[in-house]
Structure 1
């Protein structure tokens, strides 16, 4: 294993705030457990971390991470409406629905209040600074996730973690160790070398991945 690559990976993790973890379905419970272990470890480091995994969770990994923590569709966006009511006496806000329309009422405001200047509408979604992929020999192994994250993959830094010689080295940093018995063992080893301390949930995930590893 190239120590330089491990140092680069640690530097990226330390210096970035918003991180997406993307386990491959091909490596099943092993990659899922490795990613969950890293997820809870990074949460303890106060990172803004997202777990991206569409579809059914592997049976052996059920319960490792709460369903509401899993992002199954990164293509979805939210509509954010911001209203600047500075220098007004607005004291209340109400909303109601009319058919399929949402109506928002803020008041009182003066007759000179300008919606064009004061109301901002935008689509917000997932913007990742760093993406860590677990157990994918090539990005196409991620299927629809790669398609939906294509723009993010082109703009974010990418760490590629795998334990097979067949990996195509598509990352900005490639952590490939064919001698590792499992991805979960491999990632747990990195966290130890990086002086990260897995909490109970992370340790359970790593152990589960090691137990149900997929042969190289």
Structure 2
């Protein structure tokens, strides 16, 4: 069942048009990757879905219902959460306090689900060990785990991840990506913006390649070739594999 979809999604920053009729969908428990060069429109897509940019209601649908332009807090209430680029944690607060902010928000919004602090500690044991540590004193990878954990504690049906591997050591990236199957096992759909094409292919079911605000290639991650991806990165018409 399709959980989230976009239909002719158009987005602008003032007079600058950043997205041109983007159609992307993700099913319950599915993981899809958005790949493409810098400036292709990947992060803009996530911002548009999350209500951070003004778009028409019918351009974004959650379980078939138009939700485009819905304010971000209401998107969280509806079950869409984002792990933003740059993490955006509450510095000066501990790991646990950052996570409890998400728990309190979920309670206020009436979001129910299976993610608890205890379960999150099983997914990322370091977060239990560092519970009383200020997030500003964590490594980049540990901060990313807090950011992912905070999003999960909002009990999302759809999790948007913006460059969660950016700037991290390979060992940490492997640890973070190893947690994704457990997240998906709960029925959570994932949309991953990822620069590492090999990582994107190994961790997802389908890939959407973007170029200059348009989707230029779609297909199963296991089928798309590096040659097709290279062509889609730099030009060519929209291809479906």
TM-score tier after normalising by the smaller chain length? 0.3 to 0.5
* Larger-Rg structure: 1
